[in-house]
A and B are shown apart, each in its own frame.
Chain A
């Protein structure tokens, strides 16, 4: 079945360390997204990419970086510059070309600080 796979499910970061969250999709979607979810804050957009080798900052991009070298993959790196990284991170993808297309979500990665 097609879908979005996020790994790992749980991740721990030490102070000063960069960590990378994986997101892979086999839905043949052009657009991919990263969200951060904190209690009571809803989903906040970190980065998104509409095509390979191109990506845009979202509302809270500071302290994060992404790459989009392949259509299927959109990894997110949480850098040491992100001082409050503890959150639930969600990856999504969407078929482009029509506004009525929904976003499909992975099951998320929970990042905590050691």
Chain B
């Protein structure tokens, strides 16, 4: 069965420091992978997606993610974090077309000054 694991429940990063949020997936075929961000009391916004081609994908707000098939990972990175990046981040994998994405439980990012 497909699943997504985000090992870190909560991460605190200093403003201006680099960020890496981890995501591991379990899926038998070629995965379709997504990262979303959620601000408090809001819906989820798509940051980026991977489905084929270059394993390093660029997204909005300066985020990028790297797909590593050998490690079943799709980690999200940002070279320099801003205070406005504080939010909850969700990794998701796409199953059959039309069915729901499978989400991890999320990682809460706090940014310290």
Contacts and interface: CB of A to CB of B under 8 A. Distances in A.
B46 A96 contact: no
A48 interface: yes
A76 B78 CA distance: 37
Given A102-B34, A105-B44, A108-B42, A31 B98 contact: yes
Contacts, number: 69
A108 B43 contact: yes
Contacts of B41: 88, 108, 110
A99 B42 contact: no
Those 7 A-B pairs whose CB atoms lie nearest each other, nearest first: A100-B51, A42-B105, A105-B43, A96-B98, A105-B44, A50-B98, A107-B43
Interface of A: 4, 6, 30-31, 33, 40-43, 45, 48, 50, 58, 88, 90, 92, 94, 96-108, 110
